[in-house]
Amino acid sequence: MAIRGEFLTSQEVAHLLGVEARQVRVLAQTGSITRVARGIFDRTSVERYRAERGSGRTRTWAEETAWGAIAMLSGAAPQGLGDVQTSRLRATLREITDPTELAIRLRDRATVTTWSGHRSVIERVREELVIPGRQRLGLVEDDSTIDGYIHSDRSAALVRRHRLSEDTNGSITLRRTSTDIDFITYLAAFNTTLAAVDAATSLDPRERGVGEQLLASRLELFRENVRP
């Protein structure tokens, strides 16, 4: 019988993700999904994995390429890409019409983990992250939750300093990236594109819909303004 609520069986996970049972074990071993007992998995971690990766048939971009794409869609110049890479990426972006496909391709821009901590550290953690902001998309900002970017070199120290505990249902989402954090700060402030990318893989249907709608508009605008 199916396990309801917060947990899923191996069979349910395999069906939900469209993979074999062996792959479910691999995902648990690599930390991609959370195993809470033998053959039992945390539902939230599985749903987050599915939201970020889709069916697995869409090829994801390397971190540098993903940030280059976000920059282009934002109307900013990409960093770290050569002329050939930039040209190929521009051509690929012109061909993408599905915001869900785009969100999946951009998945590897950062490694996402969720944490819990004492409520007294929430504001201090917030100050150390680059947070694109839900309110810029017309969504209500929840002061008790945090979702932001941090450079990979600084994330471990932040976790230790604020005594955070990794928790699939935690209120603190850290998006670790090796990309220049000043560049990400610039993109976050430039317009709402980065905020929309984050929202497009949210577990909340309304937030995901808002993100996808904005990304669809960005893709359309890109096709209209960039010549073949």
pTM for the complete prediction?
A: 0.80
Mean pLDDT of 88-110: 92
Mean pLDDT of 88-95: 94
- Amino acid at the residue 199: A
Cβ neighbours around 104 below 10 Å, total: 23
Is pLDDT at 149 greater than 80 in this prediction?
yes
- Position 57 scores a pLDDT of 59
Sign of CA dihedral 14, 19, 25, 29: negative
Cβ neighbours around 200 below 10 Å, total: 25
CA torsion angle 99 224 92 19 (round to 10) = 10
Say how many Å lie between the first and final Cα of the chain, rounded. 54
Is pLDDT at 139 greater than 90 in this prediction?
no
Which residue, chain included where needed, has tokens 């605008």? 221
Per-residue pLDDT tens digits for 181-220: 999 999 999 999 999 999 988 878 888 899 999 999 999 9
Identify whether the C-beta of residue 207 lies closer than 8 Å to the C-beta of residue 134. yes
Q: What is the mean pLDDT of the chain?
A: 88
